[in-house]
Amino acid sequence: MEILRTPDQRFESIKGYPFEPHYTNITTHDGSELRIHHIDEGPRDGPILLAMHGQPVWSYLYSRMIPFLTAAGIRVIAPDLPGYGKSDKPAAREDYSYQRQVDWMGQWLAENDFSEITFFGQDWGGLIGLRIVAQDPDRFIQISIGNTGLPYNPDVPKEVVDKIKAFRESDKKLTMMEMAKQIRQMDGKSLSEERTWKTHPALKFMYWQKFCWDTENLPIGLVNSFSMERRSKISLSIEYLFHRIGLDGFSPFTSDLVKAYDAPFPDPTYKMGPRAMPSQVPIIPDASLEAQRIAREFFAKSNKPFLSVFAGNDPVTNGIEKDVLRMAPNAISAPHIGGGHFYQWTKPEKLSGILADFINE
């Protein structure tokens, strides 16, 4: 198994991330050693919040929340998933199956022996983290998630499955703007019971899947800037042009946020995780189907406190909260707080306050 490691120098100039690194070595399925990074901030004796990020970000996403959480007396553990941030980066597409991500992070958790945990996950952090909670529940006292879920789709119409597979395998090349136009149309309405196969949300999400996989030099910093920063179309277009001609970081409009999210990836070979993982989201039946069913059964019966806190204005996850509340009958839904998909960055004080109240109460 080929594993890449980002040089430490890539992170030296990042602003707003003054946290001491912690590293844990785990063993992969073929005996390789994989190093996983996490940050550990706040009082050692404080209640633990395990905060897990998704794709295509890293623990930097929580850097604005950490001061609010630690001020509330909370100890924050925020790992980088393998393939992201300061963690090692397996180099092959098959390394990033859903199950391997769960296995790796479950082993990381056991190695660190954290317990009495409140979990918070968003995006892939929720998909992976909820599976870990279900398989190792004694380490967790309560669960919170937002802008994520535990997808289980055994009955997707054949027309949808065929269309998605054909689209993924087609020679069509998407620009970032073409992909974004389709994703913005995911308003959650197509998740209603009355939908037809032609309005199935998977037929929009497949644009993100294909764009990520087909784009060898995925513009990760720019994609995240598009989601988290208010920028003019002109500045975004110019920076995208600089990226297309191989001059990342040289645009006069490059922001500190773009630099932070580009830092883990010295060249495109390091980007296999962000490229591969969207296609592992089980929007159609796949190898994860049975494991998803078992995990959902756990939450259907669990009496652990469960908080659902969604942005409410995220086109990718609008409507998914209804499925989360069906899955976990004891879940409480917090008011929607806005902020889009990555509301950890755009609404750090509001989200931190909700999570602190959940923990301290």
pLDDT digits (tens, 9 = 90+) for 231-259: 887 887 788 888 877 777 777 778 999 99
- Examine residue 56 and say whether the peptide bond preceding it is cis (omega within 30 degrees of 0): yes
Active site residue 314: yes
Do the bridges between strand 89-90 and strand 3-4 make them parallel or antiparallel, or are there none, so unpaired? Answer: antiparallel
Q: Are 86 and 11 in contact (CB under 8 A)?
A: yes
Give the span between the Cα atoms of 63 and 345, in whole angstroms.
8
The whole-number pLDDT of residue 235 equals 81
Q: Does the pLDDT of residue 342 top 80, yes or no?
A: yes
Q: Does the pLDDT of residue 295 top 90, yes or no?
A: yes
Q: Which residues pair with 140 in a beta bridge?
A: 117
Please tell me whether residues 100 and 238 are part of one structural domain.
Answer: no
Active site residue 123: yes
Please tell me whether residues 179 and 133 are part of one structural domain.
Answer: no
Give the span between the Cα atoms of 179 and 195, in whole angstroms.
22
The whole-number pLDDT of residue 170 equals 95
DSSP states of 173-218 as a string?
---HHHHHHHHTT--SGGGSTT--GGG-THHHHHHHHHHHHH-TT-
Catalytic residue among 95, 103, 248, 314: 314
Please tell me whether residues 258 and 327 are part of one structural domain.
Answer: no
**Could you report the per-residue pLDDT of 351-361, keeping only the tens digit for each?**
999 999 999 98
Domain boundary among 280, 312, 331: 280
Residue 162: other Cβ atoms inside 10 A: 11
Please tell me whether residues 168 and 263 are part of one structural domain.
Answer: yes
Please tell me whether residues 128 and 269 are part of one structural domain.
Answer: no
The sign of the torsion formed by the CA atoms of 96, 98, 103, 104 equals positive
**Could you report the per-residue pLDDT of 163-191, keeping only the tens digit for each?**
999 999 999 999 888 999 999 888 766 55
The whole-number pLDDT of residue 253 equals 76
Please tell me whether residues 276 and 299 are part of one structural domain.
Answer: no
The whole-number pLDDT of residue 107 equals 98
Q: How confident is the model at residue 75 (pLDDT cuts 50, 70, 90)?
A: very high
Catalytic residue among 123, 200, 243, 262: 123
Domain boundary among 240, 259, 280: 280
One-letter amino acid for residue 19 of the chain: F
Please tell me whether residues 255 and 308 are part of one structural domain.
Answer: no
pTM more than 0.85: yes
Please tell me whether residues 276 and 289 are part of one structural domain.
Answer: no
Residue 315 backbone zone (phi > 0: left; psi -120 to 50: alpha; other: beta): alpha
Q: Which domain covers residue 21, as residue numbers? A: 3-152+285-360
Domain boundary among 228, 256, 280: 280
The whole-number pLDDT of residue 239 equals 82
Q: Domains in the chain: how many in total?
A: 2
Residue given tokens 């001020």 in the structure block: 71
